[in-house]
Amino acid sequence: MLEIQNLMVFFENALALNDFSMEVKEGEIVGVIGSNSAGKTTLMNTVSGLIIDMKIKEQRKGGERITIYGEIIFNGQDITDTHPYHRVKMGLVLARERHPIFPESDVTENLKIAGHQKSKSEIKEMTQYAFTLFPALSQLRRRKAGFLSGGEQQMLSIGMALVTKPTLLLLDEPLLGLSPMMQTMLVQAIQNLRKESGITIFITEQFARPILPMIDRGYVIENGMLALTGTGAELMDNPEIKAAYFGI
């Protein structure tokens, strides 16, 4: 479904992603595990196309020069130079890290804004689905998003990505800043999401422990380079992963 070939991203002279190749197949949950500054968010921004916007803005401001090499293929189509809004229409949707919601609007309004491309009935249907997936959210329909807790904001952020009816959902650090209990709950919700709607899911995360059991395949990224790959179970048994991420 998604194929990344020899991706290289430079931020001025710093190499953020170095010759990174990976693949996401239809119906899978794929995880990319890496510590801070490994290049996870850069990877997500490149796949979702946000980096193209960043590149143009920086260029005109005379700031950091962003250079991208490599190919991103989505459903057999080369989308390396496609703008982010086209990618969303193609079904490639990113829920960005640090819960980027609209703090001045309430929960339903947030979902409506996110689904602006879709018809009214579709928005209604997907909003309803988001509320069944995250029952905690449905109690807070009229609450201003800025007053939600971190976990609720994260649920809303995933819900906003869902409203656009993605075929491939990108989740950038969904567990960031959540308590272990919230993490388990969210992991459960992501698994339910795949089971019920068949959406392919691609997660980057630094918490390996809750993520590894649920993913079909995983990649470990270090300093922008691919360090390890394998199924979730294989990675869990790997002694290096155990040492680096589980502290065993």
Instruction: Retrieve residue 150's tokens.
Output: 């971190």
The SS3 assignment for 87 reads helix
Size of interface with another protein, in residues (CB under 8 A): 13
Of 3, 5, 18, 54, the one binding another protein (CB under 8 A) is 18
Residue type, 143: R
Please tell me what DSSP assigns to residue 146: G
**122 scored as a contact of another protein (CB under 8 A):** no
Strand partners, 95: 171
Strand partners, 202: 30, 170
CB 243 within 8 A of CB 34: no
The pattern of x and - marking residues 63 through 102 that bind another protein according to CB under 8 A reads: x-x-x-x---------------------------------
The stretch near another protein (CB under 8 A) out of 9-17, 27-35, 230-238, 239-247 is 9-17
Give the DSSP per-residue string, 48-75. HTHHHHHHHHHHHHT-PPEEEEEEEEET
The stretch near another protein (CB under 8 A) out of 8-16, 107-115, 159-167, 215-223 is 8-16
The stretch near another protein (CB under 8 A) out of 10-18, 23-31, 38-46, 48-56 is 10-18
Binding site for another protein (CB under 8 A): 8, 10, 12-13, 18-19, 60-63, 65, 67, 69
